A and B are shown apart, each in its own frame.
Chain A
Amino acid sequence: QVQLVESGGGLVKPGGSLRLSCAASGFTFSDYYMSWIRQAPGKGLEWVSYISSSGSTIYYADSVKGRLTISRDNAKNSLYLQMNSLRAEDTAVYYCARGIVGATSSYWGQGTLVTVSS
């Protein structure tokens, strides 16, 4: 079955960096676009970034552009989010997800918590 498992979250100081990973299994990873979505504590969902199946097309939310970088390694069935220049407002649970652009099925990981605090 489809599984997405995020890792790499934790506590980081403002201005610091973190790299999130998402390990995919149960499907042909290289066939699917992927996204990162985040949810601040007690708040709603915010789309963060999108990457096409080949990695050739990438989009970001304005709030993270220039600081967060999405990438993927299809040989390792993995999705990444490099997070630099982190701010307190980046504190959230970060989900990786497959199928959030009109797909007939959608799969999300369990999320990984990133806390930006001094």
Chain B
Amino acid sequence: EIVMTQSPATLSVSPGERATLSCRASQSVSSNLAWYQQKPGQAPRLLIYGASTRATGIPDRFSGSGSGTEFTLTISSLQSEDFAVYYCQQYNNWPPLTFGGGTKVEIK
């Protein structure tokens, strides 16, 4: 099973600042990685697939990068609606599909 590790667990950022979230895979997942955003009481929403491709309707302030075992989600200028929990998920070697533990982006 591929273990996905996200860091940090919590990120405190001021509105308008840049946020950088990390995701590490226990073995290579190539570019078969997705990022999701989840707000309290809501289902997750797909942000990025293929490590770097934004899903339909996702603002360009969200960008993904990386391949192999190291990935990054960058939010260039945080808006109030971006404060949420973010999960990475690999789909390269499955079953099982595996998610990271999440990074909570909170207001500083």
Chain A interface residues toward B at CB < 8 A = 35, 44-47, 50, 59-62, 95, 97, 99-106, 108-111
Stretch in contact with the other chain, from B63-71, B74-82, B87-95 = B87-95
Closest residue to A62 on the B side, CB-wise?
Answer: B96
24 A-B residue pairs with CB within 8 Å: A45-B36, A45-B44, A45-B87, A45-B99, A45-B102, A47-B96, A47-B98, A47-B99, A62-B96, A97-B43, A100-B89, A101-B94, A102-B49, A102-B50, A103-B46, A103-B49, A104-B49, A104-B55, A105-B46, A106-B36, A106-B45, A106-B49, A109-B43, A111-B43
- CB B1 to nearest CB in A, in angstroms, measures 8
Known: A45-B87, A111-B43. A105 touches B55 (CB 8 A): yes
Closest 6 A-B residue pairs measured CB to CB? A108-B43, A106-B46, A59-B95, A47-B97, A45-B99, A101-B91
- The number of residues on chain B lying at the interface, defined by a beta carbon within 8 Å of a beta carbon of chain A, is 26
